[in-house]
Amino acid sequence: MASKKLITKSIDPQSAIRMFIIESNMLEQNSSKIKRHENIIEQYKSLSKDQKYYNAEFTTDTIYTKYLNAEKFNDILFSYCILSSSEENWHFSKVLIDILLKKTKDEIFTKKICEVLFEIIDQEFSIEENERKIIANCLSLVINIGINKFEENSKTNKKINKNNEIIEYITSNLLARGNINNIEIRIAIVYYLSRIEIKSKINLQKILSRFGQSLLEHIFAKYFSENESSKTAFIFLTEHLKDFLSGSAHLAEMGNAVLQNQMLKNPIEFINFSDKYSDLIYDKLDDLKSLNIHLSFLLKKSCEINKLELINGLQKIILKNLNNLKKHSESLFVESFENIIEIISKAHSKNIRESINIITKFYQENTKKLNSNIIHKNFNQNKNYKNQNPTESNMNESLFEQIFLLAK
């Protein structure tokens, strides 16, 4: 008995973790099992990167062996997700998927992984006190597989049928869960559908018409909260706000209602956000033109309620955007100006007349010298948010972090 006790005490963390991975952990949890999970997670966190990589390889081999033997591997993938979800980022979750996809080109196996990930997600949804990190982790993994397969098709310039089957499988399963009142799944759907082919853009517009308003309100609330989620919310908005503003007429109207609500609740912060966002899309002309339309409706509203701070801030951003359009396209500059005047002239107030005069004067001055190199006075100033370029930020903000932090 003494020797057995000694062996149990001297078991190394790696062995304990391997034993944990192959156990059945998806069954209903009891207090002693949860306590053991906590102990194992602490041991996992203490491992080196090489040791964690070894665990990912061990899990891959175990999963693939189970698959070849036509055995279920749900518990193994679930156990690994418990461990990798304890990390501050999802690096070793992605490592597992990368190793699994490199191990074999068997697309049936890849589809089976997706199937199991959806089963784990559904299992967590069925529990009253579900583990949100597990849901976010599994969603991150499954949409990463779909995007990976879509990019494979794009690189070869041909549609690989097996890849298309996996993409369609993931798409249909995400959409099927779109009615679940869960913020993680909704963020994942927007992230995924905005990154795959045109058919998915139609799906995205349809699904945003169902829950887009509440989702966008939620994301803005995270951005203005100025906590750990704020930076992540900014990244999401820089990538996806156009999907809410430039879609169907219904979607654009819904998006503008959210912008108006946020502008009135957080006037100074909203102007700062709009200024930053305009700078980030300065060379995306269609997005910039669309944004100016939305800002014009907001300017109209601000004039109607006589909010001078908002009026001045919005005017400056609109003029800056017009200047950027002018530098890239004379026709878009003219079209955007005409849209702005048409929108704001429908309101009647002293502030509206002053705004029309200011914007018209800017337009007239610049139409006289369209070939000159006029740069807006403040455009190239070194602003303290300059480093918040979404492409650079994405290197530090993982997909898991976007889903999990924004849903908290």
Among 95-109, 136-150, 196-210, the range scoring the smallest mean pLDDT is 196-210
Cβ burial of 105 (10 Å; 0-12, 13-18, 19+) is exposed
Tally of CB atoms within 10 A around 169: 19
Residues 6+ apart with CB under 8 A from 372: none
- State how far the Cα of 111 lies from the Cα of 167, in Å rounded to an integer: 9
Residue of 260 and 154 predicted with greater confidence = 260
What per-residue confidence (pLDDT) applies to 63?
94
- Does residue 74 register a pLDDT over 80? yes
pLDDT at 318 > cutoff 70: yes
> What percent of the chain is modeled with pLDDT above 70?
81
* Angle formed by the axes of helices 308-328 and 285-304, nearest 10°: 160
Residue 32 pLDDT class (50, 70, 90 cuts): low
How many angstroms separate the CA atoms of 82 and 137, rounded? 9
Confidence of residue 156 (pLDDT cuts 50, 70, 90): confident
User: Which pLDDT score is estimated for 93?
Assistant: 85
**Gap between the Cα atoms of 327 and 77, Å rounded:** 53
- Tell me the CB-side half-sphere exposure of residue 110, using CA atoms within 13 A: 25
If you write DSSP's letter for every residue of 86-108 in order, what string do you get? TSSSSHHHHHHHHHHHHH---HH
Distance, in Å, from the CA atom of 352 to the CA atom of 341, rounded to the nearest integer, reads 10
158-162, 192-196, 361-365: lowest mean pLDDT where?
Answer: 158-162
CA distance 144 to 107: 15
For residues 95 and 97, give the distance between their C-alpha atoms in angstroms, rounded to a whole number: 6
With 70 as the cut, is the pLDDT of residue 233 above it? yes
CA 57 to chain centre: 28
**Region class of 219: left (phi > 0), else alpha (psi between -120 and 50), else beta:** alpha
Cα(377)–Cα(395) distance, integer angstroms: 32
**Distances from the Cα of 107 to the Cα of 101, 149, 214, 255, angstroms:** 9, 10, 37, 39
User: Could you give the CA distance from residue 234 to residue 237 in angstroms, rounded to a whole number?
Assistant: 5
Q: What is the pLDDT of residue 381?
A: 37
Neighbours of 371 (CB within 10 A): 6
* CA 369/CA 363 separation, integer angstroms: 10
Cβ 59 vs Cβ 76: under 8 Å: yes
Q: What is residue 387's predicted lDDT score, i.e. its pLDDT? A: 38
Residue 37 has what pLDDT? 77
Residues 6+ apart with CB under 8 A from 261: 217
How far apart (Å, rounded) are the C-alpha atoms in residues 341 and 355?
A: 9
